[in-house]
Amino acid sequence: PVCGLLSLLLSLSVSVGSCPVPAARTISLGAGDRQVIQTPINDSLPVSSCSVALLFRQLGITNVLFLFCAALTEHKILFLSSSYQRLTDACRALLALMFPLKYSFTYVPILPAQLLEVLSTPTPFIIGVHSIFQSETQELLDVVIADLDGGTVNVPECVHISLLPEPLLQQTREALSMVLDPELEVADLAFPPSTISASSLKMQDKEIRAVFLRLFAQLLQGYRWCLHIIRIHPEPVIRFHKAAFLGQRGLTEDDFLTKVLEGMAFAGFVTERGAPYRPIDLFDELVAYEVKRMKAEEGNKQKILRHIKELAEKLYKNENPYPAVTMHKVQKPTEGCHLRLHQKPFPRLDEGTVQWIIDQATAKLQTAPPAVRAEKKCMVPSGPPIAAILERNGNALANSARRLEVVRNCISYVFENKMLEAKKLFPAVLRAMKGRAARHCLTQELHLHVQQNRAVLDHQQFDFVIRMMNCCLQDCTAMDEHGIAAALLPLVTAFCRKLSPGITQFAYSCVQEHVVWTNIQFWEAMFYCDVQNHIRALYLDSAEENHMEQVGGWPRRALPKELGSSWSYRIMEWAGREPQSPPVPQQGHLPLSQAALESRSAACSS
């Protein structure tokens, strides 16, 4: 009978898994029961049932946030419990909270006793172990241990867990408190309303996940504006410009977000979600359309809770696409049946029979029609740029405008040979270089004075320009998060002066003592950007490039089919045009491979 049930379940999994649309199947395992199995609407959203809410009930808000941050920053996490069901649910819940990131390391919800030595692995993991083996986990000095039965989380002294940046950490705690303990908000009122109560366990589970979905939308807002595509390989590679993202968000010193962006989970996130043309889900919509709403609702708990409930409804509907048919009918055993003296033990499964059943189900799956769901692909919306989301101070803007005017005037005086006027403004310019806007202004003004990649200056002009460049670079970190060094790189190879007949000194010889030039990642990014610029100039004329920029966002960098991308050839289609034959390089331009090689040699020589 047990093997018969196994065969039935495997056959059912083949039937449900091969359906092209979300499906519901009603089955019976005997004794007049009626059970429903249904697939979610969107496969990319995790299915959690009640596991997330149960994890918070077992460990509490603070402990789960510790585990959440530990998982994102790639620490080892071990769950202990005397219940195998709790171990499985806890591991699954932690992975559900990490959405849209996917865990990339060892994941074993129930670790067999014979494999306990796996806990000594040097790589991160999320593992569940029965509490009877708790004594064997005491010597693990770098593992975060969560006791589900005792409700505690033990963080060893040698382990430092980076927490969420403020104010996101406090906002997340408040939102979770509103979901899990709504009575707390009105506990001090003399006449608290009688209608306040927590949601059902399943809906509470989705509300908690909605809180973390909002958190990721706030953490990663504007990420699509920092995606670059690299086309020097047979297949395009999507790259995330971490330095630019952290710099624009003002989080270069934040340890948590830096570790998350460097982790394996985020690398998989960029690979999976970086493409501009693919099916979108709830997270894509949240990042693209709801970030400004979340920013406006900060501090208004009622609006925040309303938004959480809206997202929870969507998550619940994804897991229960057919609520009308989810009527389980399972006959419960009588009271005290587990106390019977003559309990029949669960029969030992025959390995050969189980393998035969699995082979039969596999063969049936191979002959079944392909499980192809009707995926609706579209252009992934980029959302508002980061600069449009961050708050701006009016007084600071006015002050910055005055400083930028000083920088522009000083540079104009230098190139007009009005050295006395330039000397008067020069101290103010050096002070203004502490600000990012003034440094960007300097690079833009210097670019205006470069003609045909060369700008020969006299000695005084050269000295002024070098001092401004060095002042501009001394506040740049090795990451070059604001792109200042990247903007100055073509300038230091353009500005020069004549020392004597036949001897020319370039600006780069005077600005070499800065830490940014020692960063390999900086040179790699510069090489890829240079290749990208060559390719854009090679295949797009100015009118086409302006049209592509009007399309907006990431897809405007797409190229024709011959460059190795199956979807980039459709850019004309996405832009509202009929796809034509692949364009030919403009006259006088280099072929792609030669452009890439010359770009590489230029970057290396610099």
Place of tokens 């403020």: 166
pLDDT range class, residue 265, cuts 50, 70, 90? very high
- As a whole number, mean pLDDT of residues 29-48 equals 75
Q: Which of 31-45, 491-505, 587-601 has the highest mean pLDDT?
A: 491-505
Rounded average pLDDT over 231-244: 80
What's the pLDDT at 375? 67
119-123, 207-211, 347-351: segment of lowest average pLDDT: 347-351
Task: Pull the structure tokens for residue 382.
Answer: 């980029």
Average pLDDT (127-138) is 90
Q: What is the pLDDT of residue 307?
A: 93
DSSP 299-337: T-HHHHHHHHHHHHHHHHHHH-S-TTT---B-PPPPTTG
Task: Look at domain 51-154 and name its CATH class.
Answer: alpha beta
Confidence of residue 130 (pLDDT cuts 50, 70, 90): very high
Report the pLDDT value the prediction gives residue 7, as an integer from 0 to 100.
57
* Cα 111 from chain centroid (whole Å): 29
Backbone angles phi, psi at 80, to 5 degrees: -120, 135
In this prediction, what percent of the chain has a pLDDT beyond 70? 75
- The mean per-residue pLDDT over the stretch 218-239 comes to 83
Rg (CA), the chain: 30
**pLDDT: which is higher, 435 or 286:** 286
Half-sphere exposure of 206 (CA within 13 A, CB side): 21
Q: Render pLDDT for 454-486 as a digit per residue (tens, 0 to 9).
A: 678 888 888 988 888 888 888 777 777 777 888
Is the pLDDT confidence value at 78 over 80? yes
Q: Long-range contact list for 29-32, CB < 8 A, 24+ apart?
A: 29/5, 30/5, 31/331, 32/329, 32/331
Q: Structure tokens of 422? A: 């330039």
Contact 526, 489 (CB under 8 A): yes
| pLDDT higher than 50, residue 62 | yes
pLDDT band of 321, cuts 50, 70, 90 = confident
Rounded to whole angstroms, the Cα distance separating 294 from 288 reads 12
Query: Where is average pLDDT lowest: 201-205, 401-405, 463-467, 480-484?
Result: 480-484
Q: Write down the pLDDT at residue 311.
A: 93
* Phi, psi dihedrals of residue 129, rounded to the nearest 5°: -130, 140
Q: What is the mean pLDDT of residues 439-444?
A: 86
The pLDDT of residue 514 is above 60? yes
| Rounded average pLDDT over 485-489 | 86
pLDDT score, position 585: 44
Q: What is the mean pLDDT of residues 227-235?
A: 77
The pair of three-digit structure tokens given for residue 50, joined into one six-digit string: 């009640």
- Per mean pLDDT, which range of 326-340, 404-418, 524-538, 569-583 is the poorest? 569-583
Give CA 361 to chain center in angstroms.
Answer: 37
Q: Give 479's contacts (C-beta < 8 A, 6+ positions apart).
A: 242, 243, 246, 247, 252, 516, 519, 521, 522
> DSSP assignment of 139-189, as one string?
T-TTEEEEETTTTEEE--TT--PPPPPTTHHHHHHHHHHHHH-GGGGGTT-
Each residue of 496-505: pLDDT tens digit?
A: 888 888 888 8
Banded pLDDT at 126 (limits 50, 70, 90): very high
H/E stretch holding 76:
strand 76-81
Task: Tell me what the pLDDT averaged over the chain comes to.
Answer: 78
Task: Give me the pLDDT at residue 564, please.
Answer: 33
Cα separation, 121 vs 127, in Å, equals: 12
Range from 52-56, 196-200, 413-417 that averages highest in pLDDT: 52-56
Domain ranges, ordered by start, for the chain: 1-39+324-329+350-372, 51-154, 168-186+198-310, 394-518
- Can you tell me the distance from the alpha carbon of 234 to that of 432, in angstroms, rounded to the nearest whole number? 45
Closest CA to 285 of 319, 263, 315: 315
Lowest model confidence (mean pLDDT) among 387-391, 454-458, 484-488, 565-569: 565-569
Average pLDDT rounded to a whole number, residues 84-108: 94
Residue, of 513 and 347, whose pLDDT is higher: 513
SS3 breakdown of the chain: % helix, strand, coil, rounded to 5?
A: 55, 10, 35
pLDDT at 478: 73
Q: What is the pLDDT of residue 76?
A: 94
Q: What is the structure's pLDDT at 561?
A: 33
pTM above 0.95, yes or no: no
More confident residue, 257 or 31: 257
* Residues whose CB falls within 8 Å of the CB of residue 565, separated by 6 or more in sequence, listed in order: 231, 235, 236, 558, 559
Residue 492 binned pLDDT confidence (cut-offs 50, 70, 90): confident
Residue 107 β-bridge partners:
126
CB-count burial class (<10 Å; 0-12, 13-18, 19+) for 52: buried
CA distance 485 to 469: 9
